Structure formats: C-alpha cells, structure tokens
Amino acid sequence: MTGLIIIIFILGYAAIALEHTIKINKTAPALVAGVLCWTVYMLYSENKDAVSAQLLENLGEFSGILFFLMGAMTIVEIIDMHDGFDIITQRINQTNKRKLLWIISAITFFLSPVLDNLTTAIVMVSLLQKIVKDEKDRLFFVGMIVIAANAGGAWSPVGDVTTTMLWLGGQITAGNIIKELLLPSIACLVIPLLLISPRVKGNVGQAVNIVKSNPLLTERKQAIVLFSGMLVLILVPVFKTLTHLPPYMGILIGLAIMWILTEKIGGSKEELDRYHLSPAYALRKIDTGSILFFLGILLCIAALERVGLLHSLAQTMEAGIGNKNIIVLAMGLISAIIDNVPLMAAAQGMYPLSHYPVNDTLWEFLAYCTGTGGSVLIIGSAAGVAVMGMAKVNFFWYLRNISWIALAGYFSGAITYLVLNTI
C-alpha cells in the first residue's frame, strides 16, 4: 500500500513539474494524485471508518488553510479593483532593476513577519504586477519575493506556519525566536540578492497606470480601501492572539469588514460599476485553480503522513545520521518536496520537551530550516504555491534560475545561525 501511494505521489509530482510540457494544468494532476492516494489508503485499510474519520479531520485542517488563502486573495483583489496599489506604485519611482529588486525584497522581508509569508507573497506579487511590465524581468522579482517572504516569516512566531506550530506547542517564545533568527534570516535574504543582482541590468519598464481604470474612483476612496485592507491583514495575527481562534477566522471577519466598507463607499455609483468594484466580483476574479491545486497537494501529503511514511522518514534520519544539526538541515531541504507542516508535526513528536526544553537550539534551528528550505522549489512552500498560480511561474524555470540561489541563501543563513550559536 505504502509503495503504491508513493508511486502515485511521484507521478503526480512529475505531472505538476511537467505542466507546460504535457499541457495539462497543474491543478488536475494534483487533485487526481490527492484523491488516488486516499483511495488506495481506504481500499487497503481494514478499518474504513477510521480512515473516513482521518480524512474528515484533515479536511478540517485544510479548510482553514484554504479559507485563509481565499480570504487573503479576495482582500488583495478588492484593493486592486479599487486601484489601491496605484497609491504605492506611483510613489515607487525607482526604475533601476537592481535597486528596485532590493527595495521590493526588503519590503517583503519586513512585511512577512507581520502578515505571514503567504499573505505577504500574495500582496507583493499583486503589487509587482502593477510595477513591472516585462514578464522576463518580473519572474526574477517573483523568485526573490518567494525567498524574501519565507526568510522574513522564519524569524516571527506568526510569520510562518511551522514557527507558529512551535510557538503554540510551547517549544519557543516569541521574543527569543526574533532575537535568535533575525540575523540568519537576513543572511538568507542578502546572499540571494547579491547573487541575482548581476543578472538584472539596466532599467525596468513600468506598468503604473497614470489614468485610473475607473474614473469614478477618487484618490481618497483608493486610500481608504488600501489602508483598510492592509490594516485588516495586519490585524489577523492580533485577532488570533487575542481570541485563540485560527487565522482563517480573522481573515473571514476581515473580508466581511472590507465587504461592508466597499459597499458603503460605492453607494453612489451606478449598479454595473458597483458590481465590478464589489467583493462578489472579486471572488470571481481570484485564482480558484490555485486554491484547488493547494488542496490536491495537501491531500497527497496527508495521505503520506497517515500511512506513517513521514514519521518513519524522521526516525530513519535520526538512526542513520544522528547529528541533530545535519538532521534539521536535511528536514529543511525535504520540506521543499514534502510540506513542512507534517514534517514539523513529526519532529515535535520525535523530540519531547522533557529532553529539549523551551528555546532549545534544536527548536530554533528547526524553525529556520523548515521556514526557509521551502524556497528551494516553487512548490516547496505555501508562498511559492500561491505565487506559482498568480504569476504563472514555470516549475523548471524556477528550478534553473532561482533554486540554486535559494539554496545558497538557505545554507548561508544556517551557517550564520550555527556560528552565532557557537560564539
């Protein structure tokens, strides 16, 4: 059974990677692989009710991620429809490619710890599509957004889902993880920037709209929607901390607030214009295919976890390697292939708090590696998956042009952490 599930996963993964070659949208093989993995698990299981219960439990977890993704994408789309991003893009006058790359990366890096890496990637790609017109130029910027979002999310308790898992599990504290991982995360960002900067030369063509896409929108209304949307996204972690409810609840109430706000400020418009500026229309415009693709990937990973493959992998690494630092480094790289959430869950189960207390170096290094290792592949992180759909990034283009740069940043940050820890 386990071997058959692995084969299905590998074939599905290959079909996703070869999307442009086989001319089949990546969403289809992801969904097929996800459903088939669970089908095999069900057929070979003696306790069908237990498998059904496990699937229901996983779908409950998935729904939180998917609703969060849908809500964040809709809020970003609402801001975009109201030309809110034009307020920012018209103030970014830098056309030099290298300087603009550093500016965009720095904004992403410091926004990610507040919004989280997934939301930040969605916001920044939407912003980038307004700034950079040339597709070839934009792809390199998109690659750096993925690296910067994941690097920025690693040093914040709410910046990446794996760091959040450690924070909620009591393995780390907020202040300590910021102090210990800030410099390694900066190294993880700066080294890729230094490597990619020579590849971007000259000035970049900009796509800033001088003329409003909708003349009925005033600059005041644009500003209201932009800053309200950003405030809603920023307050999601605060909502989670205060209420102890999952992040998708915060994003849903935020979407409701934006819905009410945009309906009110659009009250004087004609019905057709109001509809094209409404959240209902934004929901039609978001990339639903990317959300379903994410669901397929999550189904595959959950099946691998349920049959015990991920836990067995962790135990094998523990027995075969022994050195904790090398194991954690390997887990970070594996997280580029297999989702970092179940890997982190396996690690939390393998290493009890009784042996590795709060803020132990194991947890800190694990937070860094699983948070940034996913940048090595475009589908290795939630931010990468979202960006892949939004910016139409080819898997093999990213593999050829960005993966080695992300890998260099990953090891640079890891070495920085180990050296600082030794000192």
Tens of pLDDT, residue by residue over 306-342, are 888 777 776 777 777 778 889 889 888 988 887 666 6
Is residue 203 classed as helix, strand or coil in its secondary structure? strand
- Burial class from Cβ neighbours inside 10 Å (0-12, 13-18, 19+) for residue 323 reads exposed
- The whole-number pLDDT of residue 412 equals 95
In this prediction, residue 341 carries a pLDDT of 66
Q: Is residue 207 pLDDT above 50, yes or no? A: no
Alpha helices in 116-197 (DSSP H): 117-131, 135-154, 161-168, 174-196
Residue-averaged pLDDT of the chain: 83
Tell me, letter by letter, the H, E, C secondary structure of 31-95. HHHHHHHHHHHHHHCCCHHHHHHHHHHHHHHHHHHHHHHHHHHHHHHHHHHCCCHHHHHCCCCCC
More confident residue, 198 or 368: 368
Distance CA 317, CA 55 (A): 27
Mean pLDDT of 180-199: 93
pTM: 0.71
For the chain, percent of residues with pLDDT exceeding 90 = 23
Over residues 153-182, the mean pLDDT reads 83
Neighbours of 141 (CB within 10 A): 24
3-state secondary structure of 347: helix
- Residue 174's pLDDT band (cuts 50, 70, 90): confident
Task: State residue 208's pLDDT score.
Answer: 46
pLDDT at position 3, please? 87
